[in-house]
Amino acid sequence: MKFLIDENVGESVVRFLVENGYDIVRAKDLLPSRGVILFRFSTEIPVLKISALEITLTKFSHKLLDHFTVISDDKIRIRPLITFKGSK
């Protein structure tokens, strides 16, 4: 079995999988990111996500590059992406 590992999975989990014979691929090795948008809505209604995304792109598109954006029911937060030594 092969796992796609996102950056939020700790090294101990990765080590466990590898030590138990599972193949892993790190998302960062496949998907170099210049920005991330995370939706955190209390309900899964696509029209709400589209509307919030439209607002975000209209008002904040100049801030999205190299930033982590969280769009929730009542707010939009934009923070710089954290980079670590040795990361791409």
Task: Note the pLDDT tens digit of each residue in 46-85.
Answer: 898 899 999 999 999 999 999 999 999 999 999 998 765 5
d(CA 85, CA 88): 9
The residue among 87 and 59 whose pLDDT is bigger is 59
Q: Provide CB contacts within 8 A for 10, sequence distance 6+.
A: none
pLDDT at position 88 is 46
Confirm if 46 and 65 have CB atoms less than 8 A apart. no
Cα–Cα distances (Å) from 22 to 2, 4, 30, 62, 72, in that order, read 6, 11, 18, 41, 35
Q: How long, in residues, is the chain?
A: 88
The per-residue pLDDT for range 22-54, each reduced to its tens digit, is 999 988 888 777 888 899 999 988 898 899 999
